[in-house]
Structure 1
């Protein structure tokens, strides 16, 4: 549905120095999926998502949406195509002097939607986002979450095939964020709209995304299914994001002391393996003692996912049997080494 081919983007600074925001980025977002792009501040995420609808024109590379090359379109054709690409922003971008109804209706009017259809669409999409009673109130009378729902209704009112989300939940409190993410899941499921979102928050990725790309310094350093990146991150930046959910910072002095008594291991549990008491069974089956040093279990979009750091104390022959048993039970096992 969305294909970015070798996208690069550079700007000129106030000192006329070249600032490279994107470097040869290629991504493909499949029809109907929710694809996340995550990175720290300055990674190039916002520039990337704005290149999809050419709010930012790439310095080089091509942008395809639903098989059409936006990079080669005339201005008139591009304006028409953008109507099928909705976008929501961190700052809501609502007209303060217009009612909720008019905030949605005015853009429809400007794009030539008939008056009778405008009223039907505004009513329909305000109902979908849960604001059917807010037609005639003003943005100043709404909470942050309600303002974002208006912005989502406005984007949906053009009945897009693609929805772009530029840090849409980062200005919201955790409870409101979860409700907005649930709304995006609902929209994706009921309307089949492809969603590309950018964020710096791991819980956004884990809750609703099917696949994810990790950015750093204008480049995509790793991408794939969410479950794969969580269970086996390769790049240092990806590891930092995952470790923020599963911290296991054990001082080297303690590592050395414990490792004299047996291995320290990272255990990854995916899906049904999170329900098995595999670690507790180890102590019963083998002549070892287990001690959990840190751990957490979270819910990804489709399945539970957990990581534990544990110390297995005992003779090498017994600890080897214990580790083999854990692996046979579907647990991913990696031995922790000194930093």
Structure 2
């Protein structure tokens, strides 16, 4: 559906070039929600603007529905953009126009008949839940309501692709969740492919099927949301994942605990998060588990949890208990060590 093929973007002059994107290749599957996450300056916003050629790449190709946008004439590109909706952080609403006018005007400019415009405005204002705000002005709306209008405006073109550039960054946590729920609903109900740019791990955790992590203009890691959370490979990805799980245990406590057993990190994925495996460890083995920290959350509807646990007991009994936990589908690692514990 969306393919970036060896995309590079360089600003500045030959003497002082600034590389925003460096040979980026990504494929976003049809009907999925794909997240691109990175810290400020990673190149993610440049990438999403290249997706509809608001920015032209210095090198590489961009395909939407197997059409290379970089080869299209201005007229054909303009037509193709009608199939690509975009939502911005700053909403970009016409302040002097009502909600109806903000949604209807772009449709009018593309030559859609007046009757059909009315039908589309009514349909998509209902989708975003703002039927009672149709004649209100942006100044009379909250931030979340403004973003819903922007979403309705993008949907009114009935696109197959929706680009979201930090669409929730200006919103409070509760409003962010409501907008994310709306985007997930749109993906489910209309099958629209969504490419979502963010610097917030909570956003990709909540609705994305897949995620790519960017740093200094490059994609440094990508995969399913479960794989990225359970097996982060790069330090940047680990920082993003750890931002949702405060696992730090004071070193003074760890020092004493490690003398009598082992401190481990347990990752529960899917059904394993509801398994009482840890409780059973103390019954099956001569080991006494103590939870030092932890949290269970949802990854695209799948339960996922991480616990830091002290297993008190002899080396032999601890190793047996670790093997048992692994047999139950639990990922076990040493605390602050991303390498699996290879218990025998």
**TM bucket normalised to smaller:** over 0.9
Where 2:93 maps in the other structure, the secondary structure is coil
Cα distance in structure 1, aligned partners of 2:289 and 2:250: 19
Residue 142 of structure 1 corresponds to 141
Residue 54 of structure 1 corresponds to 53
Residue 342 of structure 2 corresponds to none
Residue 212 of structure 1 corresponds to 211
Cα distance in structure 2, aligned partners of 1:293 and 1:209: 30
Cα distance in structure 2, aligned partners of 1:235 and 1:189: 31
User: Is residue 266 of structure 2 the alignment partner of residue 270 of structure 1?
Assistant: no
Q: CA distance change for structure 1 residues 88 and 337 in 2, over 3 Å: closer, same or farther? A: closer
Cα distance in structure 1, aligned partners of 2:55 and 2:137: 31
User: Is residue 54 of structure 2 the alignment partner of residue 78 of structure 1?
Assistant: no
Residue 9 of structure 2 corresponds to 9
1:16 Cα deviation after fit: 6.8
1:252 Cα deviation after fit: 4.6
1:213 Cα deviation after fit: 0.2
Residue 127 of structure 1 corresponds to 126
Ranges in structure 2 where 5+ consecutive residues have no aligned partner: 339-344
Deviations 1:111-164 (A, max 9, x none): 111111111111111011101121111000011111000000000000000000
Deviations 1:158-198 (A, max 9, x none): 00000000000111111111111111011101100000001
Deviations 1:286-314 (A, max 9, x none): 11111111110001113100001111111
Cα distance in structure 2, aligned partners of 1:314 and 1:300: 33
Listed as ranges, the matches of 1:80-119 within 5 Å are: 80-119=79-118
Cα distance in structure 1, aligned partners of 2:50 and 2:59: 11
1:47 Cα deviation after fit: 0.4
Cα distance in structure 1, aligned partners of 2:197 and 2:102: 24
Cα distance in structure 2, aligned partners of 1:129 and 1:158: 15
Residue 29 of structure 2 corresponds to 30
User: Is residue 292 of structure 2 the alignment partner of residue 293 of structure 1?
Assistant: yes
CA contact (8 A) 1:252 1:338 kept: no
CA contact (8 A) 2:84 2:162 kept: yes
1:253 Cα deviation after fit: 4.9
Residue 159 of structure 1 corresponds to 158
User: Is residue 179 of structure 2 the alignment partner of residue 180 of structure 1?
Assistant: yes
Cα distance in structure 1, aligned partners of 2:240 and 2:153: 32
- TM-score if structure 2 supplies the norm length? 0.95
Where 1:98 maps in the other structure, the secondary structure is coil
Q: CA RMSD in A?
A: 1.5
Ranges in structure 1 where 5+ consecutive residues have no aligned partner: none
Cα distance in structure 2, aligned partners of 1:262 and 1:27: 45
Q: CA distance change for structure 1 residues 338 and 329 in 2, over 3 Å: closer, same or farther? A: closer
1:67 Cα deviation after fit: 0.4
Residue 17 of structure 2 corresponds to 18
Cα distance in structure 1, aligned partners of 2:210 and 2:56: 25
- TM-score if structure 1 supplies the norm length? 0.97
1:256 Cα deviation after fit: 3.7
Q: CA distance change for structure 1 residues 43 and 337 in 2, over 3 Å: closer, same or farther? A: closer
CA contact (8 A) 1:4 1:62 kept: yes
Residue 201 of structure 2 corresponds to 202
Residue 310 of structure 2 corresponds to 311
Cα distance in structure 1, aligned partners of 2:168 and 2:335: 35
CA contact (8 A) 2:249 2:293 kept: no
Cα distance in structure 2, aligned partners of 1:125 and 1:288: 58
Residue 282 of structure 2 corresponds to 283
Cα distance in structure 2, aligned partners of 1:238 and 1:257: 30
Cα distance in structure 2, aligned partners of 1:258 and 1:10: 52
1:246 Cα deviation after fit: 1.4
Deviations 1:294-338 (A, max 9, x none): 110001113100001111111111101110111111111112257
